[in-house]
């Protein structure tokens, strides 16, 4: 028996059949799923989109916290995959900077601070940001990302941290001295610093993230920032459908 007018949510094929257990069967995709559970999952995704915590979402929808937390984790994984897929090398005027997430103690400009996670960021002016969770902030580590993620010959802006000393091998290098930028309007790293504020404001809500799990959260911030001027919910729906479909 066909479910009339019903298109498969996953593959777009028309002509789903309804099974005795009320699930639907897609003959093109050769899988079955429950439409009511799909609807519930899209509700969970909507709360994720609104940046409501897994705990509050579980309360609102009368679901178990573990079920919601598992879906949130799956959405973040999907975001990581989507971001890899859509990535294009950054080019033109590019700002690079490192920052630290988590931990309570303030370190010396955050560098080498205890119990914090180093994150490297590269931002194309008027474009996108790329982030990487890094084990250290040595020149070798940071340059590997620069090499992989930026076009050679870009114009780089960084502060005067020692790891950036030989950056000119990848393009023109402008060092920004925080105290001496007056009168040089282009010579700044305000773009990437703006991203750090954006990300940390959100990160703040996720207290108690295990340090080992920072990557998906940081990538979520990157994704939200890069798509901040677009309708985000439909994009999240497509990303989830592609990379984290929930069948049951
Ligand atoms: Zn299908």
For ligand 1, the distance from its centroid to the CA atom of residue 20, given in whole angstroms, is: 18
For ligand 1, the distance from its centroid to the CA atom of residue 31, given in whole angstroms, is: 7
Phi first, then psi: give them for residue 42, nearest 5 degrees: -70, -30
Phi first, then psi: give them for residue 239, nearest 5 degrees: -60, -45
For ligand 1, the distance from its centroid to the CA atom of residue 246, given in whole angstroms, is: 13
For ligand 1, the distance from its centroid to the CA atom of residue 58, given in whole angstroms, is: 28
For ligand 1, the distance from its centroid to the CA atom of residue 57, given in whole angstroms, is: 28
Check: CB of residue 102 under 8 Å from CB of residue 210.
Answer: no
For ligand 1, the distance from its centroid to the CA atom of residue 180, given in whole angstroms, is: 60
For ligand 1, the distance from its centroid to the CA atom of residue 124, given in whole angstroms, is: 39
- Domain ranges, ordered by start, for the chain: 1-33, 93-226
- Contacts for 131 with CB less than 8 Å, ≥ 6 apart: 119, 120, 121, 199, 218, 219, 221, 222
Helix (H) or strand (E) holding 171: strand 171-175
pLDDT tens digits in sequence order for the chain, 248 residues long: 455 568 898 988 887 888 998 899 998 888 899 999 999 999 999 999 999 999 999 999 999 999 999 999 999 999 999 999 999 999 999 999 999 988 665 555 545 556 688 999 999 999 999 999 999 999 999 999 999 999 999 999 999 999 999 999 999 999 998 665 555 678 889 999 999 999 998 887 776 677 778 899 999 999 999 999 999 999 999 999 999 888 76
For ligand 1, the distance from its centroid to the CA atom of residue 16, given in whole angstroms, is: 8
Residue 117's CB is within 10 A of a number of other CB atoms, namely 21
Determine the topology of domain 93-226 in CATH.
Nucleotidyltransferase; domain 5 (3.30.420)
pTM: 0.89
């Amino acid at each position: 028996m066909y479910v009339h007018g019903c298109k498969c949510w996953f593959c777009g094929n028309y002509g789903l059949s309804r099974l005795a257990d009320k699930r639907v069967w897609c003959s093109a995709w050769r899988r079955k799923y429950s439409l009511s559970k799909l609807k519930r999952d899209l509700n969970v995704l909507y709360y994720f989109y609104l940046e409501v915590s897994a705990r509050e979402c579980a309360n609102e929808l009368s679901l178990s916290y573990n079920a919601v937390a598992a879906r949130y984790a799956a959405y973040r994984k999907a975001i990581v995959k989507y971001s890899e897929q859509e990535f294009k090398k950054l080019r033109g005027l590019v700002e690079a900077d490192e920052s630290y997430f988590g931990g309570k103690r303030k370190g010396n400009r955050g560098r080498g601070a205890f119990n914090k996670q180093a994150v490297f960021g590269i931002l194309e002016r008027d474009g996108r940001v790329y982030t990487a969770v890094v084990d250290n902030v040595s020149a070798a580590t940071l340059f590997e990302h620069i090499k992989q993620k930026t076009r050679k010959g870009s114009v780089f802006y960084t502060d005067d941290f020692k790891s950036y000393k030989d950056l000119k091998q990848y393009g023109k290098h402008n060092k920004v001295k925080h105290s001496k930028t007056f009168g040089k309007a282009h010579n700044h790293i305000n773009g990437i610093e703006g991203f750090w504020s954006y990300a940390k404001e959100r990160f703040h809500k996720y207290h108690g993230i295990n340090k080992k799990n920072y990557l998906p959260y940081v990538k979520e911030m990157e994704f939200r920032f890069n798509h901040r001027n677009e309708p985000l919910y439909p994009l999240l729906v497509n990303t989830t459908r592609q990379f984290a479909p929930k069948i049951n």
